[in-house]
Structure 1
Amino acid sequence: MRQVTTEAELREIVKEPPQPIWDKDIARIDQHARTIIAHSPFVLLATSAPDGTCDVSPRGDPPGSVLVLDDNTLALANRPGNRRVDSFRNVLHNPHVGLLFLVPGMNETLRVNGSATLVSDAPFFDDLVVKDKRPDLAVVVHVEELYMHCAKAFLRASLWQPDTWPERNSLPSLGRISKDQMGLKGVPAKVLDAGLALDAKTNQY
C-alpha cells in the first residue's frame, strides 16, 4: 500500500475545492435547515472518545422530533436502546459531535457539527414527548458548522430505489448474526429473532 501521510500529499490527489464549497458553511440553523430537520425521521450522531476512538449512532423518531431551540441550538431526545450509552459517555469526555440528517427520497443531506451537552430535564422536554413517553435524557447541540451535502453519494448508492435493494431473505437475520458472533450455542436463531422482534416492537419509547 502507498500511504498518504500529509495534507500536501492528499491535495496532490484531491485538488482544493472552489471557494463556494468552503463558503456554504453558514454555522446557523436557517429556514431551509429548519425545514429539513422538521422532515427528517432519521439522524446519525457521530462522537469520539478522548483517545480518538469514534462512534456513530443511528437515531430515529417521527419527523419533527428533533427540536430547533434557536438559530444555533437543537435538541435530540434519548429513546430506549441497548443502554450501552456509547455516544453519551463520549460526550461527557469530548463534547464535539457531528450530525447527518436524512429525509426519505431526498438525495441531499444536512450536515451539522458542534458541541453537545447532556440534559436530564428542561421545559422543552414536554415537546419531545412521543406516544405519551417523555424522555429522561436529551442531547443539546450548539451548532458550529452547518451545510448541505450534495447528492452524489446517494445517487451512486441508488439508496432510495427499491429495485436496487437486496431481498431481505438473502441477508442473515439479527438473531443469526447474534448467535454466531456471540457464540450462543444451544439457542436457535429463530428464538433470538422472536425475542429481538418483540423488544423492537414493544420497547420503542
Structure 2
Amino acid sequence: MEITTPEQLREIVGHPHPTVVEKVRPALHRVHIAWLKACPMVFLATSDAEGRLDVSPKGDPAGKVVHVVDDRRIAIPERPGNKRVDGYLNVLENPHVGTIAVIPGRGDTLRVNGAARIVDDADYFDDLAVKGQRPILALEVEVDEVFFHCSKAFLRSDLWRPDTWTPDALPSTAKITKALLPELDEDELEKAFEETEFRKWLY
C-alpha cells in the first residue's frame, strides 16, 4: 500500500525521541566547526525549480573542502571538473541545499541545510587554495539548520570495513564508459582513467 499521509507514515515509523528533535540548531556550534574543518568529503544536494534533484560529492584535503565564514555561513569550493555544473544551475533556480559532511572511519555525519549563492571570489579563496590553485567558484550556504546524524547507515553497510570492500565487483570505469558510449576507444579510455593520469587534472 502506498503511504500518502503523515499520519500513515507516523503510524509505521513512530515519532522521534525529543533529543533527536532538539539537537537541530540554527547556527554552527564549535563542535560543528571542528567537524567541518576535519572532514575531506561533503555531499551537496540541490533541486531545480521543478523539484528535479542532484547530489554531488565534493572532496578536498581536510580543511579545504569547507570553509567556515562564521557561525551562520559556510563556503564549499568548486574545482575544475566536467563542467556540467548541475548543482550550480539548480541553485540559480532554487537556492535551498542540503549537505552531509563525512569523516572517513566515522559512522556519524554532520548535516548542514540552508540557502546558497554562488560567488566567483571572496577574501577566503586564498585559504582554500590547494597546490597553489584557488577555487574557480564557491557555494556559500547560509545555515538554516545543522545537526549530527547517527551512524546506523554506516554500521548497516559496513562501509569502513576494508574486508567488505569489493571494488572489482564491476568492470573498470573505462569499460563502463565504453559500454555506455561504444564509439569511444577503450584503450584511450583506460589510459585517461588511470589514477596517475586523472590526478593531473584535479586542480
Query: What TM-score does the superposition give when structure 1 sets the normalisation length?
Result: 0.94
Aligned residues: percent identity? 44
1:186 positional shift? 6.1
- Give the C-alpha shift of residue 192 in structure 1: 0.7
1:169, distance to aligned residue in structure 2 (A): 2.7
- Matched length: 201
Q: Distance in 2 between matches of 1:193 and 1:80?
A: 21
Q: Which runs of 5+ in 2 are unaligned?
A: none
SS at match of 1:16: coil
**Using a 3 Å threshold, how does the CA distance of structure 1 residues 142 and 199 change in structure 2: closer, same or farther?**
farther
**Is 1:42–2:56 an aligned residue pair?**
no
CA distance in 2, matches of 1:36, 1:69: 14
Q: Which residue of 1 aligns with 2:193?
A: 196
Amino acid at match of 2:112: V
Q: Decide which moves more: 153-162 or 14-23.
A: 14-23
- Tell me the residue number matched to 1:57: 56
For residues 94 and 49 of structure 2, the distance between their equivalents in structure 1, rounded to whole angstroms, comes to: 6
Partner residue, 2:145: 145
Partner of 1:127: 127
Cα RMSD of the aligned pairs, angstroms, is: 1.2
1:89 aligns to 2:86 (yes or no): no
- What is the Cα deviation at residue 196 of structure 1? 2.5
* TM-score, normalization by structure 2: 0.95
CA distance in 1 between partners of 2:62 and 2:185 (Å): 38
1:18: Cα distance to partner? 2.0
Q: Measure the CA separation in 1 of the matches of 2:162 and 2:9.
A: 36
Partner Cα distance (1:138, 1:186) in 2: 33
Deviation at 1:7, TM superposition (A): 1.0
Asked if the contact 1:27–1:147 (Cα under 8 Å) also holds between the matched residues in 2, the reply is no
Query: Hey, what's the Cα distance between the residues in 1 that align with 2:135 and 2:73?
Result: 18
What code does the residue aligned with 2:93 have?
A: H
> Does the 8 Å CA contact 2:77/2:128 hold for their aligned counterparts?
yes
Residue 199 of structure 1 deviates from its aligned partner by 5.1
The CA distance in 2 between the partners of 1:80 and 1:72, in whole Å, is 27
